C-alpha cells in the first residue's frame, strides 16, 4: 500500500508565473478582457507543442505571451497567485518558489518596480489565505540584452529580504548563452540570492557547465541533458547542485520522446539532488503532484524514494531555515506513518497498483 503523495510535504521550485494559471481562469479572463484565444488555448487545449527547433519554441513562446496578455488588472495578478497557492496546497507543497520576469508586466502595471511589488504583495496575500509559503524568483530573459538582466538583478537585490529569494534565466537556450549573463548573476549572488538559471534542457552538457562555471548555479532549471556527460553528473552530485527536473514539460516540449526517457532514475542514482517541478501547467497540463506520481509509476520510486525527492526539493529551496526544518520533519512523519493508518490515506487517489516495495534508497 502506498502513502498519498498529496500529504508528502514538498517544495516546488520550478513554476513560471503565467504558466501556473489555471486553464479555466485563462478562459474566463480572456472573455472578460476581450482577448481572443487561439484554438490551442481554447477548444483544443492543452496545445500540441514541440521545442525541437526554434520554430517550435517560438510557437510555445507565442502561446505563453497570449496567455500573459489576459492579466490586465492587479486583481488578475492576485487571483493567479491565490489559485496557484491553492493548487500547490492541494499537491502538498508547503513552499512555492514562483519565477517571474517583471519586464513582461512592466508596461501594464506601471513599470518594473511597481510590477514586482504587486506580485510580492499578491504573494503575501496568497500565503495568508492558503498557508503555502511563497518566495519569488526574479528571472531574466536570455534572448534579451545582458544589460537588461543586470537591471533586473539590481531590482531583485533591493527585495532580497522582502520576498525575492532567487535569480533565474529563462527562454530559448539556443538564443543566449549562460556565460553572457555572468554580470547579472554576480550581482544576485552578492545579494544572497540563489542562482537558478535554466540550462541543459534544449542544449547539452556545455550549457549546464556554463551555469556552474559562469553563474555559480545553486540549482539548474531542467539540467536533464547533463546526463550525456558522466563526469558532469558526478560533478553536480559532488557540488550538491539541485536539478529542477520537470518530466511533463520535457515530454510536452519534445525534449524527450517519451516520459520513460526522462533521465530521472539515472540522475537520482548518480547522487544528483533533484527537485521535481511542473514548469508551465497552463500549457502542459499536469501539476506538481503528477510529477511525483510519474516518479512512482514510471520510475518505480517507492515511498522512501519519494520522501527523498521531497527532502531534496526542500534542501534546494530558498525557504527560511525554520520552514525547511518543519518540512523535513513533516517528510519523516509522512514516512513513519503506516500507509494503512487512518488519516494516512486521506486524499489517496486509488493506489495499490502493486509496485515493488521500496527498492530506492537515499543517494
The catalytic site residues sit at 201
In the complex with Zn ion, the residue whose CB is nearer, 173 or 279, is 279
Considering only residues 127, 172, 173, 279, which one is a binding residue for Zn ion as defined by CB under 5 A? Answer: 279
Among the listed residues 243, 317, 242, 251, the one whose alpha carbon sits nearest the alpha carbon of residue 286: 251
Quick one: how far is CA 43 from the chain centroid? Answer: 26
Nearest-approach distance from CB 244 to Zn ion, in angstroms: 8
Q: How far is CA 129 from the centre of its chain?
A: 21
Of 35-43, 279-287, 329-337, 352-360, the window that binds Zn ion (rule: CB under 5 A) is 279-287
Task: Rank residues 214 and 279 by Cβ distance to Zn ion and give the closer one.
Answer: 279
Neighbouring C-beta atoms of residue 170, cutoff 10 Å: 20
Stretch that binds Zn ion, among 129-137, 276-284, 301-309, 311-319 (CB under 5 A): 276-284
> Where does this chain touch Zn ion (CB under 5 A) — which range of 90-98, 147-155, 256-264, 273-281?
273-281
In this complex, which beta carbon is closest to Zn ion, that of residue 2 or of residue 279? 279
User: Cα 206 vs. chain centroid, distance in angstroms?
Assistant: 22
Answer yes or no whether residue 201 interacts with Zn ion by CB under 5 A. no
Residue nearest to Zn ion (CB): 279
Q: What are phi and psi of 58, to 5 degrees?
A: -60, -40
User: In whole angstroms, what is the distance from residue 32 CA to residue 260 CA?
Assistant: 40
In 3D, which of 9, 11, 96, 87 has the Cα closest to residue 334? 9
CA distance 167 to 189: 8
C-alpha 96 chain-centroid distance? 9
| Distance in Å, CB of 284 to Zn ion, minimum | 11
Nearer Cβ to Zn ion (76/279): 279
**DSSP three-state, residue 307:** helix
H/E segment holding residue 99: strand 93-100
Site string for Zn ion, 101-130 (x = CB under 5 A): ------------------------------
If the CB atoms of residues 127 and 279 are measured against Zn ion, the closer one turns out to be 279
What is the phi/psi pair of residue 9, to 5°? -65, 135
Relative orientation angle of helices 288-297 and 303-315, to the nearest 10 degrees: 140
The angle at the Cα of 216, spanning 190 to 142, to the nearest 5 degrees, equals 95
Q: How far apart are CA 5 and CA 283, in angstroms?
A: 23
Q: CA 242 to CA 223: how far, in whole Å?
A: 9
Alpha-carbon torsion angle 130, 94, 316, 201, nearest 10: -70
How far is Cα 202 from Cα 217, in angstroms, rounded to an integer?
A: 18
If the CB atoms of residues 187 and 202 are measured against Zn ion, the closer one turns out to be 202
Residues in 226-245 at the binding interface with Zn ion, rule: CB under 5 A? none
How many residues bind Zn ion, per CB under 5 A? 1
* Torsions phi, psi for 198 (to 5 deg): -70, 145
Site of interaction with Zn ion (CB under 5 A): 279
Amino acid at each position: 500500500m502506498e502513502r498519498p503523495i498529496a500529504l508528502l510535504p514538498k517544495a516546488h521550485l520550478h513554476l513560471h508565473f503565467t504558466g501556473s494559471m489555471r486553464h479555466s481562469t485563462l478562459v474566463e479572463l480572456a472573455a472578460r478582457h476581450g482577448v481572443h484565444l487561439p484554438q490551442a488555448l481554447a477548444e483544443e487545449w492543452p496545445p500540441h507543442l514541440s521545442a525541437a527547433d526554434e520554430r517550435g519554441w517560438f510557437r510555445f513562446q507565442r502561446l505563453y505571451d497570449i496567455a500573459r496578455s489576459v492579466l490586465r488588472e492587479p486583481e488578475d495578478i492576485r487571483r493567479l497567485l491565490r489559485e496557484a497557492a491553492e493548487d500547490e496546497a492541494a499537491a502538498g507543497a508547503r513552499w512555492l518558489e514562483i519565477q517571474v520576469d517583471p519586464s513582461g508586466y512592466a508596461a501594464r502595471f506601471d513599470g518594473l518596480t511597481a510590477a514586482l511589488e504587486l506580485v510580492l504583495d499578491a504573494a503575501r496575500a496568497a500565503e495568508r489565505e492558503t498557508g503555502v509559503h511563497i518566495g519569488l524568483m526574479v528571472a531574466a530573459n536570455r534572448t534579451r540584452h545582458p544589460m537588461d538582466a543586470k537591471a533586473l538583478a539590481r531590482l531583485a537585490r533591493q527585495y532580497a529580504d522582502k520576498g525575492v529569494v532567487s535569480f533565474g534565466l529563462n527562454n530559448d537556450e539556443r538564443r543566449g548563452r549562460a556565460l553572457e549573463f555572468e554580470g547579472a548573476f554576480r550581482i544576485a549572488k552578492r545579494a544572497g540570492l540563489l542562482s537558478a538559471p535554466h540550462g541543459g534542457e534544449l542544449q547539452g552538457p556545455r550549457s549546464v557547465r556554463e551555469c556552474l562555471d559562469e553563474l555559480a548555479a545553486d540549482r539548474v532549471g531542467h539540467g536533464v541533458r547533463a546526463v550525456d556527460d558522466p563526469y558532469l553528473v558526478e560533478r553536480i552530485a559532488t557540488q550538491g547542485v539541485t536539478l529542477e527536473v520537470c518530466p511533463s514539460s520535457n515530454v510536452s516540449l519534445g525534449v524527450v520522446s517519451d516520459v520513460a526517457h526522462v533521465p530521472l532514475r539515472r540522475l537520482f542514482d548518480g547522487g544528483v539532488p533533484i527537485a521535481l517541478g511542473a514548469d508551465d501547467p497552463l500549457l502542459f497540463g499536469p501539476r506538481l503532484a503528477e510529477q511525483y506520481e510519474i516518479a512512482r509509476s514510471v520510475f518505480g520510486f517507492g515511498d522512501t524514494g519519494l520522501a527523498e525527492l521531497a527532502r531534496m526539493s526542500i534542501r534546494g529551496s530558498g525557504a527560511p531555515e525554520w520552514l525547511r526544518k518543519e518540512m523535513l520533519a513533516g517528510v519523516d512523519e509522512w514516512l513513519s506513518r503506516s500507509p494503512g493508518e487512518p488519516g494516512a490515506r486521506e486524499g489517496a487517489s486509488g493506489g495499490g497498483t502493486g509496485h515493488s516495495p521500496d527498492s530506492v534508497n537515499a543517494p
